[in-house]
Amino acid sequence: MDYLEIKGNAKLQGSINISGAKNAALPLLAATLLSKNDVQINNVPNVEDIKTLLTLLEHLGANYSFKNNAVSINLANLNSACANYDIVRKMRASILTLGPLLARFGQCEVSMPGGCAIGQRPINLHLKALEQMGAKIDIKQGYVVASAPDGLKANTIVFDKITVTGSENLIMAASLAKGTTKLLNVAKEPEVVNLCQFLANSGVNIKGIGTDELEIDGTNGDLLELEPIEVIPDRIEAGTYLCAGAITNSQITLKNLCTEHLASVIAKLEKMGFSLEKQESSLTIFPAKIINPADIETAEYPGFPTDMQAQFMALCTQANGVSVIDERLFENRFMHVAELIRMGANIKLSGHSATIEGGFLNSADVMATDLRASSALVLAALVANGTTKVHRIYHLDRGYENLEGKLLALGADIKRLKE
């Protein structure tokens, strides 16, 4: 297994390019299951989660090429509707194949994704909504066994909770259904909008894109001719590097990003004392004289993203005072806290709330537990006294393209080594 060795007290400078968003590319790839033609998806990040989903699509009969961040995929020989446990267990977002497979084949088996470090991660809302579209859903030996032999039927569906992949699954299912489906309390994340644009560009009539209410005219089972699409920039990768600039109190510039997708993150950094300069598709962060403590509550988009919570907790260890972070979306998304405390952070947990008193961090051997927690440990290592080793960085490789290459380009002293 690889680990990262990171020298502390780092000062960063220069600029890097932001990659395409993993959480946009995954539903776009799943949506190719709705197409009858070859499909081209550009600006796809070269990360493990993408490779895992491509492997799953290949097991279903698709052929693809993935080079220079471009995927071209051919689905003419799709011959299976069973997403098996071996692959799904590696990446829970494989559940995104459920909606399109059921819509295309009228039946499918997709392994239950299982929980992960940050929480139980149920899919009850996905299943309930598909049943409301006429699907028969059983759980057998850990698989979701779904069937809709006469095709999915339009309905009005209200999600009890806002679910990103639940919304994406139902948007894909509704695109091939019979009639006009209304989805209410839909996630408004930019990644959901990217999926809607992909489908709308290809002839699916969708009203309300970008809002929490969608009206989708289904094609009644006709497969789609999907036009090429560009994956949007990764707002969470961008937010992570903004925190790298902030925690080392450096001036750095990020290119190829969409600043409007980062409004809540930018506002929080400005409140903490950093100034940020926006250009067309780039953003520069400047050092703060004093880093103010933060008061953060995670929420669905456009609120403060839960995927930025761990990174901001690392930043709050450098604030001048006491910060409070309230994690509202997941029941166990504080796995990074114990590791930060081992580096000397002063953090107290009470339920889904963390209190962080600013102070100094010291290097240590630390262990990554999930994708965003591992990026928080890298940020902490950049500012700690001494040299830190971050172990189990396969978590990082799932969602950050060339992380050490980008940090090296910004002047960090970071090496990827073998255990």
Please give the Cα distance from 157 to 384 (Å, whole number).
49
Q: Do 289 and 273 meet the contact criterion of CB atoms below 8 Å apart?
A: yes
**C-alpha dihedral sign at 231, 235, 237, 242:** positive
Single out the residue of 29, 53, 98, 123 in contact with ligand EPZ (rule: CB under 6 A). Answer: 123
x-or-dash pattern for ligand EPZ, window 209-248, by CB under 6 A?
A: ----------------------------------------
CB of 114 to ligand EPZ, least distance (A): 12
Contacting range for ligand EPZ; rule: CB under 6 A; set: 69-77, 123-131, 273-281, 404-412: 123-131
Single out the residue of 8, 12, 19, 23 in contact with ligand EPZ (rule: CB under 6 A). Answer: 23
CB of 352 to ligand EPZ, least distance (A): 11
Q: Do 53 and 32 meet the contact criterion of CB atoms below 8 Å apart?
A: no
Please give the Cα distance from 372 to 34 (Å, whole number).
31
Query: Any contact of residue 122 with ligand EPZ (CB under 6 A)?
Result: yes
Single out the residue of 188, 261, 372, 391 in contact with ligand EPZ (rule: CB under 6 A). Answer: 372
* String of DSSP letters for 147-173: E-TT--B--EEE-SS--HHHHHHHHHH
With H, G, I as helix, E, B as strand and everything else as coil, classify residue 137: strand
The residues, any chain, with a CB within 8 Å of residue 215's CB and separated by 6 or more, are: 180, 181, 182, 183, 206, 207, 208
Element (H, E) at 200: helix 190-200
Single out the residue of 16, 329, 381, 383 in contact with ligand EPZ (rule: CB under 6 A). Answer: 329
With H, G, I as helix, E, B as strand and everything else as coil, classify residue 371: helix
3-state percent helix, strand, coil for the chain, nearest multiple of 5? 35, 30, 40
Q: Going edge to edge, which strands form the sheet with 70-74? A: 63-67, 70-74, 39-42, 229-230
Measured from the CB atom, is 121 or 182 closer to ligand EPZ?
121
Query: Any contact of residue 99 with ligand EPZ (CB under 6 A)?
Result: no
The closest alpha carbon to 34, from 209, 216, 174, 181, belongs to 174
CB of 123 to ligand EPZ, least distance (A): 4
> Active-site residue 316, yes or no?
no
Measured from the CB atom, is 76 or 139 closer to ligand EPZ?
139
Query: Any contact of residue 399 with ligand EPZ (CB under 6 A)?
Result: yes
Query: Any contact of residue 302 with ligand EPZ (CB under 6 A)?
Result: no
Query: Any contact of residue 170 with ligand EPZ (CB under 6 A)?
Result: no
Measured from the CB atom, is 26 or 34 closer to ligand EPZ?
26
Contacting range for ligand EPZ; rule: CB under 6 A; set: 32-40, 70-78, 101-109, 121-129: 121-129
Marked catalytic residue, from 82, 108, 116, 316:
116
Residues classed as catalytic: 116
What residue ranges bind ligand EPZ (CB under 6 A)?
A: 23, 26, 93, 119, 121-126, 161, 163-166, 306-307, 329-330, 371-372, 399
